[in-house]
Structure formats: C-alpha cells, structure tokens
Amino acid sequence: MNIYRKKITWKLLLLLSAVLIGMGSLWYTNTLVEKLSKEERKKVELWAKATSLIPKEGIEGESLDFLFSVVQFNETVPVILVDSDTNIIMHRNIDTVRKGGQAYLENLLSEMIAENKPIEIPYLPGKKQYIYYSPSTILTTLSYYPFVQLGVILLFIVMAYLAFSSSRKAEQNQVWVGLSKETAHQLGTPISSLMAWLELLKQSHTDPVLLNELNKDVKRLSKITERFSKIGSQPVLSQNNVVELVQNTMEYLRTRTSDKVQFELITLETTLIIPLNPPLFEWVLENICKNAIDAIEGEGNITIRIENQKDTVGIDIADNGKGIPKSKQKTIFKPGYTTKARGWGLGLSLARRIVEEYHKGRIFVAESDADVGTTMRIVLKKHLR
C-alpha cells in the first residue's frame, strides 16, 4: 500500500510544481504587462501632446520637426482621434484595408472606449478632441504568454509521466515473465521427484486412500507449474464450457474450505462454450474466491452467477463480507497492493492480467458496500476476432 501512497504523492507534487511555475510566470508576466501598459499610455499621451501642438502658431523649424518625429515614432500602439461627438478624425497603426474598412474602424473604436480612458486634447476654445487606443500587438501577445507556458509545462509533465509509466509497465512485464518462468522451473524438479516417490509407494502397497490424496496434490502442483509457465508466454485459448469450469473450481474450493463457507452457483445454462485457457482461468476464479473467503473471515456465503448475454458471458462472484472502500476499488488490482499481514498482493493483479490481456475481457468491482459485501464481475467475449 505504501508504494501507491508514494505514487499519489509524487503525482500531486508534480502537479503542484506545474501550478506554482505557472502562477509564478503569470504573476511576473502580469507585472511586465502592467508596466508596459503604463509605458504605452505615456507614449500615447506624448503622441497626443505632439499632435495638439503641431497646428499651433509660433511652432516651426526644429521644434516642428521634433513634434512630427514624435508623432511618427508611434508604430505599435493603435490609436484613433475623434472629436467631441465621437466622429473619427484620423487613426494610426490600424490596417483598415484588409480588415473591413470603416465598419471595422467603428467596431474597434467601441472596443477602445470600453478598454481605456480617453486622452483629452484641447483643440479650440470650447472644443476638444479625444484619443482612444488599444494595447499593442506585443503587449497582447505577452499577456497570453504565461498561459501558453503553463500549457507547455503541463504537456511536458503529461508526456514525461506517460513515458515513465510505459517504461515501468514494460519493466514489470519483464519481471512477470522472468519470475513466472523461474517459478515453473524451480517447481519442476520437486514435482518430478514426488511423482517418482508416488510410484514407489504404489509398489509398496501403501493405503490407496493416502495414495489418492497424494496423487491429487501432485496433480495440483503440476497444474500450478503449468499456470506459471503460461504466464511467461502468450497462452493458447480453446473452446471450453465455462459453466463446467466454474463448477469444477467451486467444488475444489468447497472441499478445501470450512463448512461455514457456503458456495452457490446460479445459472440458467448448463453449457456455454467460449474461448478460454482452463488452467489460467481457474486461477482467476480461485484468487477471487480466496479473497472472498478472507473478506467473510471464514464464515458466510459466496455466490457465483453466470449470465449468458448477446456477445459476452458475465460471471459475478459475490460475498457478504466487509466490502471494499471506493477509494481502493481500482487500487486492489495493482501489483503489491494487499491488506494482509502476509502476502505479496499479486492475486488480483494476476487475475486482471489473465482476463484482460490473455482473454481480452474485463474484470472490475461491480458493487461493494461496507459490511454488506462485494461483487466482482468478469466479462468474457464469446468470440475473439
């Protein structure tokens, strides 16, 4: 469980880092935007002052050239000069030819009136002109920059996380394969030895009941070895009766659990033929049922329901145990997750791998309530294309 808490913590830290970087960038950029906005207003005010002085008498020569240079200097801030009745007199840094002519100019003026306070220019006694302006292209672009930067940071984090997850999953797959093959290999030698001892015991006229039970256990070990060997490679699916397979698994578990655990199979079908790998799918059923036995603490009911649907077969395994919290209903399928003092937390992870990767089906918690019980659902396809 600790590994998943750490995983969630790292995710939150990455997200928090992205948010802090974005907020810091946004604050700094907004500070620059405010400063540039003030500078642009000063530039427009200077432009307005120069514009108002040009037509006055007594200004000529170098002074007039300077005023004209000030007026010409504004090449970035869009401005519109209007009279007291808001009639447009002139404009600068606005491309009306390509953007719609007079109609575009009037719409832009309405936007400028809403954006900024006008700069007043005394024109004649009792008459005034006004200059309206909007932020320059540079200022507008800069105001959007932090959002673009935050988007790029988030995209980078998502791509890095996906790449890391893909790499980690590939590594896990290699561990699965190596562990499975090594386990099958290690079990092979003692099983062969047990089979030889079993033959010797038969020749020595040992109690047949004892030999029969010993033979069952040897076969069971052989089946476990087969399961591990199949996990390490792509298993072959063949047409099998899933109802019979569930019945056999349930009978096997019934003989090896307490009489206080009641098993029940509910189905309207006696034969449902679907593509399966029997040793692996029996493993799935056993893992889920063993978890159900732990949940009811050795006393309660386990009900298996098989439903024949149009293109799929649904298998529900329900218990009346302690239930699974909603926050853990997805985590329980992760490798290493366990609530037991002893255990590796691989049972449900193996079950999901077998159902989803090998049988192309689905396995999930259909329903779970505290002190009411849990229903695990397996959905298998009738036909694999």
Compute the half-sphere exposure of residue 45: CA atoms within 13 Å on the CB side of its CA.
Answer: 8
Measured CA to CA, the distance from residue 216 to residue 218 in angstroms comes to 5
* Number of domains present in the structure of the chain: 2
Other CB atoms within 10 A of residue 156 CB: 11
Residue at which a domain ends, from 112, 134, 156: 134
Measured CA to CA, the distance from residue 86 to residue 105 in angstroms comes to 12
Compute the half-sphere exposure of residue 101: CA atoms within 13 Å on the CB side of its CA.
Answer: 1
In a domain, 68, yes or no: no
**Below-70 pLDDT ranges, the chain:** 1-7, 47-48, 50-75, 97-100, 123-126, 172-173, 175-177, 179-180, 185, 230-233, 335-346, 385
Helix (H) or strand (E) holding 147: helix 137-203
pLDDT score at 58: 43
In a domain, 83, yes or no: yes
pLDDT score at 164: 77
Greatest pairwise CA separation for the chain in angstroms: 135
What percent of the chain lies above the pLDDT cut of 90? 18
In a domain, 289, yes or no: yes
Residue at which a domain ends, from 94, 116, 134: 134
245 in the same domain as 370: yes
Coil vs helix vs strand at 301: strand
In a domain, 39, yes or no: no
Domain hosting 272: range is 236-381
In a domain, 38, yes or no: no
pTM for the whole structure: 0.54
247 in the same domain as 115: no
196: its two tokens? 């030889």
- Indicate which CATH number applies to the domain containing 359: 3.30.565.10
pLDDT score at 233: 67
In a domain, 364, yes or no: yes
pLDDT score at 246: 95
In a domain, 210, yes or no: no
In a domain, 104, yes or no: yes
Residue 236 identity? V
Residues in the chain: 385
End-to-end CA distance of the chain: 37
